[in-house]
Amino acid sequence: MFSLLAVDYTVDKIFPIIKWVTVGVLTAFILACVLTYFIKKTAFNKTVKLGFLLFTVFALIVGIVMLVFEILKHYDKAYLEEKWVSLDIINFVFLPILITLSIALILFVLGYFLLKKEKNIKPFKWVSVVSLGVAVIVTIVLIAIYYSRNISGDGYYTAESSKFNSLALYIFSAILIIGLVVTAFLVDKNKLAFTTKSIATAGVCTALSFGLSFIKFEGLWLQGGSITLFSMLPIMLYSYAFGMKKGLIVGLIYGLLQAVQDPYIVHPAQFLLDYPLAFAMTAFSGVLNGTKIFNNIPQLKFGISAFIGGFFRAFSHVLAGVFAFGAYAVGEGATNFLAYSIVYNSYVFIDVALVIIGGAILFSSKGFCLEVEKLNANLLETYD
Q: Structural domain boundaries of the chain?
A: 155-384
Q: Mean pLDDT across the stretch 187-192?
A: 79
**How, if at all, do strands 162-163 and 156-157 pair?**
antiparallel
Look at residue 180 in the predicted model and tell me its pLDDT. Answer: 92
CA distance 277 to 273: 5
The number of CA neighbours under 13 Å toward the Cβ of 310 is: 23
Sign of CA dihedral 23, 206, 201, 368: negative
Reported confidence tier of residue 32, pLDDT bands at 50, 70, 90: confident
Question: From the CB of residue 365, how many other CB atoms can be counted at a distance below 10 Å?
Answer: 11
Look at residue 157 in the predicted model and tell me its pLDDT. Answer: 46
CA distance 216 to 258: 13
Mean pLDDT in the chain? 77
Q: How many helices (H) and strands (E) does the chain have?
A: 16, 4
CB 223 within 8 A of CB 46: no
pLDDT at residue 306 is higher than 60: yes
pLDDT at residue 156 is higher than 70: no
Specify the CATH architecture of the domain 155-384.
Orthogonal Bundle (1.10)
Q: What is the DSSP string of 181-238?
A: HHHHHHH--S-S---HHHHHHHHHHHHHHHHHTTSEEET-STT--EEESSTTHHHHHH
In this predicted structure, which of 161-170, 192-201, 239-248, 317-326 has the lowest mean pLDDT?
161-170
Question: From the CB of residue 340, how many other CB atoms can be counted at a distance below 10 Å?
Answer: 22
Look at residue 49 in the predicted model and tell me its pLDDT. Answer: 73
pLDDT at residue 5 is higher than 60: no
Reported confidence tier of residue 90, pLDDT bands at 50, 70, 90: confident
Look at residue 161 in the predicted model and tell me its pLDDT. Answer: 45
pLDDT of 106-151, one tens digit each?
Answer: 887 887 777 776 666 677 778 887 888 888 788 878 877 776 666 5
Hey, is 44 helix, strand or coil?
A: helix
pLDDT at residue 383 is higher than 50: no
At residue 132's C-alpha, the angle toward residues 131 and 136, to 5°, is 120
Q: Mean pLDDT across the stretch 346-352?
A: 89
Residue type, 63: G
Q: What is the DSSP string of 108-162?
A: HHHHHHHHHTT---HHHHHHHHHHHHHHHHHHHHHHHHHHHHTB-TTSEETTTTE
pLDDT at residue 254 is higher than 80: yes
Q: Mean pLDDT across the stretch 63-73?
A: 80
Provide the percentage of residues in the chain whose pLDDT is more than 70. Answer: 77
pTM of the entire predicted model: 0.67
Reported confidence tier of residue 86, pLDDT bands at 50, 70, 90: low
